[in-house]
Amino acid sequence: MTLSWLSIVRLGLVQMCLGAIVVLTTSTLNRLMVVELALPAVLPGLLVALHYGIQITRPNWGFLSDTGGNRTRWIIGGMIALALGAMLAAYGVVLLETSFAIGMILSVLAYALIGLGVGASGTSLLALLATATAPHRRAAAATISWLMMIAGIAITAGVVGAQLDPYSSGLLLKIVAFVTGGAVVLTCLAIWRVEAQVEAAPEPTQMPFRAGLAEVWSERHARNFTLFVFLSMTAYFMQELILEPYAGLVFQFTPGQSTSLSGAQNGGVFLGMVLVGLMATGFKIGSLRAWVIGGCLGSALMLVTIALLGKAGAGAPLLPAVVCLGFFNGVFAVAAIGSMMALAGQGRTAREGTRMGLWGAAQALAAGFGGLVGAAMVDILRATQTSDAAAFGSVFIFEAGLFLAAAYMAQRVMERPVLPHEALVPGE
């Protein structure tokens, strides 16, 4: 048996819970540190980079999913760890107001726990989707789960943004507790007995993790796609930690307004994904490569636009530009995810989880690297540039250049389908 459409949607609810918690730590808490606490942007950048860096363990989780079975325990356990990490991170922000040292120690522990939780839960969930979904449904399953994750991000950011004004530390803790507790309960209900209803296909022979990973890395398509994921996701995530501070410092947005801006951006991502899902899957219009390239080029254009709007300052139409950026980000992302799910099943059998873990690790490292570099560049440029608008704008234009490079690489890496013998011949 394979996953039914209902089971796929239930797993999508878990993805939605993951997105709902993570957006609090990468968006809301980040803005509070930079604007309300007047801390350097590189500080939350380092914390977010830590949680992404720990996700280098994703291939391990994927390998365990391939060979160990019982993915449900890793999904639920990872979600609990993520929820606890988010609560500790919020409390760390509160402590930073009175004791920087204690607040930072707690924040480091919190973001490390967040990284472990996302890695264990997210990778095990994708492994379950890749191995228990019928081949002809894999791309659609990936799209559904990702759209639901984006919906969780957008809804949470929008609701939290509306409820957080006027800001107080007590209100922050109450909101985070409500979101994290609800996410754990919904995850347990959504995943209940889903895995038991499908036939597991464990690896008949056990091998060390390094040997299994080496097998996957020897596949040329897996290596090339890993490099593409790293470059494109570096461009995708570089603005993540600086967009809300940009809105607050240059356009005079309040904490609630800037959090809602993040929600609007992810709403644009959602629309872009829906469009590609309908056009590419439903109407068979455009190849995955064409949609990836179009999304990268559109994202580059909107980043340049956002940089130029900084010269106008408060009152400029930042919100529409950010929504359009999210739209093109979504176009790029869903096409790349469709390729990922299709490629996960190519090559040696019973390695879907390991491949998804490898690409997930590349994405996580790129997200942490991109976010950290973006935040560090802003700090350096703010110290040397005459205005905040010029400093942030320079980083956005640099990010646009990375998207152009990603579009070029997509044309090379995704220029033709992977042939069976190419996927299976090692060492090329």
pLDDT at residue 421, as a whole number: 39
- Specify if 107 maps to a domain: yes
| Mean pLDDT confidence for 201-209 | 60
pLDDT in tens, 253-309: 988 888 789 889 988 988 998 888 788 767 778 887 899 999 999 999 999 999 999
Residue 427 has pLDDT above 50, yes or no: no
pLDDT in tens, 66-117: 776 678 888 999 999 999 999 999 999 999 988 999 999 999 999 999 999 9
pLDDT in tens, 217-261: 888 888 888 989 999 999 999 998 899 899 999 998 988 888 789
- Specify if 425 maps to a domain: no
CATH code assigned at 367: 1.20.1250.20
Task: State whether residue 428 is helix, strand or coil.
Answer: coil
- Specify if 426 maps to a domain: no
pLDDT in tens, 321-354: 999 999 999 999 888 887 777 677 666 666 777 8
Q: 49: closest CA among 114, 105, 99?
A: 114
CA 19, 24, 27: angle at the middle one, nearest 5?
A: 100
Phi, psi for residue 4 in degrees, rounded to 5: -80, 170
pLDDT at residue 69, as a whole number: 67
* The pair of three-digit structure tokens given for residue 332, joined into one six-digit string: 């790029």
pLDDT at residue 348, as a whole number: 66
DSSP per residue over 321-365, as a string? HHHHHHHHHHHHHHHHHHHHHHHHTSSSTT-HHHHHHHHHHHHHH
Q: Residue 394: is it exposed, middle or buried by C-beta count within 10 angstroms (0-12/13-18/19+)? A: middle
* Helix, strand, coil share (%) of the chain residues, nearest 5: 80, 0, 20
Phi, psi for residue 112 in degrees, rounded to 5: -65, -45
CA 299, 394, 37: angle at the middle one, nearest 5?
A: 100
Cα separation values, 63 from 122, 142, 156, Å: 13, 19, 32
| Mean pLDDT confidence for 164-175 | 89
- Counting residues of the chain whose pLDDT is more than 70, the rounded percentage is 91
- Specify if 427 maps to a domain: no
Task: State whether residue 396 is helix, strand or coil.
Answer: helix
- Specify if 224 maps to a domain: yes
- Specify if 275 maps to a domain: yes
Range of the domain at 230: 5-418
Residue given tokens 């439903």 in the structure block:
282
Name which residue leads in pLDDT, 1 or 192. Answer: 192
Q: How many domains, the chain?
A: 1
Q: How confident is the model at residue 415 (pLDDT cuts 50, 70, 90)?
A: low
Neighbours of 57 (CB within 10 A): 18
- Specify if 126 maps to a domain: yes
Buried b (16+ CB within 10 A) or exposed e, 247-266: bbbbbebbbbbbbbbbbbbb
Neighbours of 218 (CB within 10 A): 16
First to last CA, the chain: 36
- Counting residues of the chain whose pLDDT is more than 90, the rounded percentage is 42
- Specify if 423 maps to a domain: no
d(CA 43, CA 108): 11
Q: Residue 169: is it exposed, middle or buried by C-beta count within 10 angstroms (0-12/13-18/19+)? A: middle
| Mean pLDDT confidence for 366-384 | 89
pLDDT at residue 96, as a whole number: 92
Neighbours of 279 (CB within 10 A): 14
